[in-house]
Homo-oligomer: A and B are copies of this chain.
Amino acid sequence: MSLPLPVLPPLLIAEAVRRALAEDLGRAGDVTSAATIPADATAVAVIAAREPGTIAGLALAEAAFCEMDAATAFAAAVADGDRIDRGAAVARISGNARAILAAERVALNFLSHLSGIATLTRRYADAIRHTKARVTCTRKTIPGLRALEKYAVRCGGGSNHRFGLDDAILIKDNHIAVAGSAGEAIRRAKGFAGHLMRIEVEVDTLNQLREALQAGADAILLDNMQPGELKEAVAITGGRAVLEASGGITLETIAAVAETGVDFISSGALTHSARALDLGLDIDVSA
């Protein structure tokens, strides 16, 4: 938690929130509030946790309320990355009642989804705290939300893998098959990549690992190996490359994997299957 968090670009936040508000308000806006709440009514609302977890996405919640009415006051009671208890207040919002009611669901949808990811990541990270290994996400993210979800992984204490197909080279079996060998694929990759792009190779066997090491891969993804084999891989590697274990790792198995000495453990479930954190908004409207 003491590590600094990444900084989401402000335009990225604004665009995500605007798209979500447009999706929820549709063509006619919040018809219920228009019909029943006077235009000048004010409200005070509190977002509270219905279960313990780790928070992520406060800036998106704030933006949702402020996009509806720039005069809305949003005071966060915690910070992204903070662990919170059941019942804890997360933020306090005050302002125009219609604006708060109109933004409520969008704000909660962002906050619950991203906090759900942070909470799950934290659980994984806690399970391997006694090792040097770090849990990392994958590209298995909900379409359109990758940058936000990867930020949430960081809030939960996880590390980030590639953000896309373009920021690192990850050679898989198909690339190796076409290139002829792992060595040849890595050679091509080195010729292609600039000096600030890393090259990782996915291997299924220790022999492939040795070939990748010899060819000078920066990182090696050990796919679906059992702890015993992973331990052997760590020994073979001897610090010459970063090692990432991957494949069906769960909260039950992650400690054993981490104890093998690998550097990173990746899990798609962090982003594609995290349960939303149960957060609620209690509001008090004064007409």
Given A25-B9, A143-B20, verify A31-B196 contact (CB < 8 Å). Answer: no
Cross-chain contact of A272 among B5, B112, B167, B189 (Cβ < 8 A): B112
Task: Mark each residue of chain A from 1 to 28: 1 if its CB lies under 8 Å from any CB of chain B, else 0.
Answer: 0011111111110001111111111111
Contact A161 B196 (CB under 8 A): yes
Asked if A59 CB lies within 8 Å of chain B CBs, one says no
Q: Which residues of B contact A139 (CB under 8 A)?
A: 24, 105, 109
Asked if A106 CB lies within 8 Å of chain B CBs, one says yes
Report the contact-size class of chain A (Cβ under 8 Å from the partner).
Answer: 35 or more
Given A32-B189, A35-B189, A276-B272, verify A196-B175 contact (CB < 8 Å). Answer: no
Asked if A236 CB lies within 8 Å of chain B CBs, one says no
Kindly specify which of A86-94, A96-104, A122-130, A223-231 makes contact with the partner chain: A96-104
Contact B192 A34 (CB under 8 A): yes
Cross-chain contact of A9 among B4, B22, B172, B179 (Cβ < 8 A): B22
Asked if A68 CB lies within 8 Å of chain B CBs, one says yes
Docked CA distance A6–B4 (Å): 33
Asked if A136 CB lies within 8 Å of chain B CBs, one says yes
With CB as the reference atom, state the residue of chain B lying closest to A162: B196
Interface residues of A (CB under 8 A from B): 3-12, 16-39, 41, 43, 67-69, 97-98, 101-102, 105-106, 108-110, 112-113, 116, 136, 139-147, 150, 159-172, 174-179, 185, 188-189, 191-198, 200, 218-219, 242, 244, 263-264, 268-269, 272-273, 275-276, 283-285, 287
* Extra contacts besides A23-B144, A28-B150, A269-B276 (5): CB < 8 Å: A11-B21, A12-B29, A24-B139, A162-B196, A272-B275
